[in-house]
Each structure stands twice: as C-alpha cells, then as structure tokens.
C-alpha cells in the first residue's frame, strides 16, 4: 500500500466529531452580529499638495509601488506567515501557535489559511485547546486578517469549518461544517436529517447565510469556487473518512448538480467548462491518474500516462487553462518522492520539473511562470518555487501549506 504524507491524509479525511452550536438549516439569509473585532499588534499618507502649472520639463515622479503578491503559509513553528513574492519579505500573522500536549496552558493551532482574490484578506481556522482533566476541550474559531492594516478579526467563537473558499472578486467566504457522530448513526447509510449545507459569511457586512442547502440528503464540505464565481463545487459526505461524492451548485441557473461518485482532488478550468481530477479518494491504490471531464458531460479523457509502478495526483490547471501540473509517484518503494509534471491540456508528453520529497499543496503563480509547493521531511518542510521555463528551484520560506489567491479567468 502506497502512502502520502501526513499532511495530505489530514486534508483528505472528512472531519467529524462533536461540534458547537451551528446555524439552523435554512436557505434564507440570516444576519448575525460579528464578534467585537480584536486588535492584535499592527504590522504599520500625507494629503497631496497642489502643484504649479505644468512646465516644459515636468519633474520626474517615482513609479507607483508594486502591489504585493501574497503567499500565506504555515511556518515550522506552527504560526501563519505572509510572504510577499515580489519583495521576498515575510511577516507573521499569528505568534502563539502551540500544539496539543506541547504546552501547559491553552494550545493554539492554525489551519486552512486562504487569501481573497484581491489579496486583502486572509481567512483561517484557529483551534483552541483548553486543558481539562480528560485532556483538552477544543473549540474552533474563524478569523480574518487584513493585509492592508495588519489587523485580525475573530468572525466566530465556535465554528467547526471543513474547508474555506473565497468567492472571486468578493469578500464572501464559503465553508462547510463538521458532521457529528449522529450523522452516521444509521446502519449502512447517513441520517439526512442531520445533513448540513455550505454556509458563507460576508466579511465586510458580517452577514452569515446558507449558500447551498443539502439538496441530495448529504452534508456538504470542502467548497471550491469556479474562477468566474458562477459555480461552487463541494463534496457530499458519504463516508466517515475520505473524499465524498462530487457535486456543484449553479448560482445563475439555481441548479444543484451531482454525479454520485467521488472525483478526488480536482480543479476548475478558467472558463468553468472543464474539470481536471485524480480519483484520489483516500489512500492511493496505485491506479490514480489525471483525467479531464466536461462539466456538462459524463465522458472523461485520461491526461497523464498510466504509471504501471506508480500513480498521479493533485492536478492544477494553469491560469491560462492550457496546461495541467500534477505530482506522480513513479516507483513502488513508498519513499514519498514525487515528480512534478506539466502536460498540455491538448495532450502530449508530460514534462518533468523535478523530484520532491513529500510534495503537496501545489499552486500556479498568477502569470503562469512557475509553481509553488510545500516539500521536505516533516522537520524540514520548505515552501519552494519551480520555474516553468527551466525547472530551477528557489526556496521561498521554511514552512508548509502555501496558498495563493484563486486564479481569475
């Protein structure tokens, strides 16, 4: 049996357990009052003056500063950091991370950080472990960090989210909710009366709303927006662990579409007409490869080779939609060494960009010039960039789980 890194398995497992108070299941928008904003230390313009009439030789002006291209990642100390890809400078978002069992006081863990498409907001899940006689009492908070002001806001005191996704060109944050043990209480099937939909919060107004109700009788988790914001894909929770069945909601047609099978890790094309996926449902079977599928049809086309002694996973479409990057394990030694490939969507021979240890969290740079991923042993994880032109590797930071804003069409 082949294995993936611990981080990938954690991502693939659908979280379950006791959850705190949850929003009522309704399709009506519900206004909620956001908790009072907190003001952690702020990381740091004079009004323009009128100038004289233009002269024949105007005074040169400085070029406007470049807008940062943010990459959020988890440092080796467990805290979240922002890396400005253009300047190479990093700054912390959090500073108090401490794993369960590694501290005598409260334990804090930060997960699933995501950046809005305008680069202004970073959403993340904060797990707070409070020591009790039996171990820890854990609650789940939703926080948002403003990259322009350096301020953080707690949006919810106890919201056990499963996946966070910013709608492109908005500050609307979609999320799934944990399913409790009672959801699986019926023998051989789930209890549809316990199903939860996809919810969202408008960070600017503080309004919470149910975006997609569980039409098909399953709880919905791991939301993924199409790049134009018209479609929202998600997993229908059909089992205790692993990826669920693929489904999506068309907000323009107000239609819920489901295909009654899991696609594994997937990505949208820029025009929202095609899906690329790997069928990696839980642990790899060795049969996984990369496929393309029209959104409106059942036919699928294999894109990666059928690796006899390996498998392919984690596909990502380029911002231009003409290439797919993915990982492949090319041996049967369980060494967790993955080769990064890029292949044209039109088909052809995949091109190798190098081999990386326990590589996951793959993303394209917005201009399509390279890819960013997390790689390395557990104690020495690094965020690295790989040039599409020549495969050159550049270490960006010590850490893992890099995330960039969703590419826009």
Reported in sequence order, the residue ranges of 76-217 that DSSP labels E, i.e. its strands, are 80-84, 90-92, 107-115, 121-132, 135-146, 152-156, 161-166, 172-177, 198-202, 208-212
| β-bridge mates for residue 403, sequence order | 72
Q: What is the largest CA-CA distance in the chain?
A: 84
What share of the chain in percent tops pLDDT 90? 72
Quote the CA–CA distance of 409 and 269 in Å, as a whole number. Answer: 9
Model pLDDT for residues 272-304, shown as the tens digit of each residue? 999 999 999 999 999 999 999 999 888 999 999
Cβ neighbors of 218 (< 8 A, separation 6 or more) are: 190, 192, 195, 236, 237, 238, 244, 245
Closest CA to 257 of 210, 202, 216, 219: 216
Quote the CA–CA distance of 86 and 15 in Å, as a whole number. Answer: 36
| Residue 224 near residue 235 (C-beta atoms within 8 A) | no
pLDDT of the residue at 336? 87
Quote the CA–CA distance of 347 and 335 in Å, as a whole number. Answer: 29
Quote the CA–CA distance of 375 and 360 in Å, as a whole number. Answer: 7
Averaged pLDDT for residues 199-219:
96
Confidence band of 105 (pLDDT split at 50, 70, 90): confident
Confidence band of 66 (pLDDT split at 50, 70, 90): low
Alpha-carbon torsion, ordered 159, 215, 273, 367, to 10 deg: 0
Averaged pLDDT for residues 162-188:
93
Look at the pTM and tell me if it is higher than 0.75: yes
Model pLDDT for residues 3-16, shown as the tens digit of each residue? 444 444 444 444 44
If one counts every other C-beta atom within 10 angstroms of the C-beta of residue 213, the result is: 16
């Amino acid at each position: 049996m082949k294995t993936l890194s611990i981080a990938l398995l954690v991502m693939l497992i659908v979280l379950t357990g006791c959850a705190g108070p949850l929003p009522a299941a309704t399709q009506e928008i519900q206004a909620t009052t956001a908790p009072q904003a907190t003001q952690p230390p702020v990381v740091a313009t004079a009004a323009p003056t009128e100038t004289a009439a233009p002269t024949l030789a105007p005074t040169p002006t400085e070029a406007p500063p470049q807008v940062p291209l943010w990459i959020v990642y988890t440092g080796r100390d467990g805290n979240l950091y922002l890396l400005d890809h253009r300047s190479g400078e990093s700054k912390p978002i959090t500073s108090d991370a401490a794993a369960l069992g590694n501290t005598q006081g409260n334990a804090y863990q930060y997960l699933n950080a995501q950046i809005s498409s305008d680069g202004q907001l970073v959403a993340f899940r904060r797990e707070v472990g409070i020591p009790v006689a039996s171990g820890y009492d854990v609650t789940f908070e939703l926080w948002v960090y403003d990259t322009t002001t350096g301020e953080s806001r707690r949006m919810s005191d106890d919201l056990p989210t499963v996946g966070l996704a910013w709608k492109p060109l908005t500050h609307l944050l979609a999320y799934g909710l944990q399913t409790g043990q009672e959801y699986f209480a019926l023998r051989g099937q789930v209890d549809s009366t316990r199903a939860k939909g996809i919810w969202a919060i408008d960070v600017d107004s503080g309004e919470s709303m149910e975006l997609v109700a569980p039409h098909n009788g399953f709880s919905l988790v791991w939301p993924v927006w199409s790049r134009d914001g018209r479609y929202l894909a998600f997993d229908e929770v059909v089992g205790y662990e692993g990826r669920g069945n693929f489904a999506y909601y068309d907000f323009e047609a107000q239609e819920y579409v489901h295909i009654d099978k899991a696609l594994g890790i997937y990505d949208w094309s820029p025009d929202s007409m095609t899906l690329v996926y790997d069928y990696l449902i839980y642990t790899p079977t060795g049969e996984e490869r990369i496929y393309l599928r029209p959104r409106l049809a059942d036919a699928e086309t294999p894109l990666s080779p059928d690796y006899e002694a390996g498998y392919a996973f984690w596909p990502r479409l380029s911002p231009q939609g003409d290439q797919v990057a993915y990982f492949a394990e090319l041996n049967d030694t369980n060494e967790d060494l993955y080769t990064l490939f890029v292949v044209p969507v039109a088909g052809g021979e995949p091109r190798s960009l190098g081999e990386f240890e326990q590589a996951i969290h793959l993303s394209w740079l917005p201009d399509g010039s390279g890819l960013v991923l997390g790689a390395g042993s557990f104690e020495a994880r690094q965020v690295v960039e790989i040039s599409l032109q020549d495969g050159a590797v550049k270490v960006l930071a010590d850490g893992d789980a890099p995330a960039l804003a969703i590419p826009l069409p």
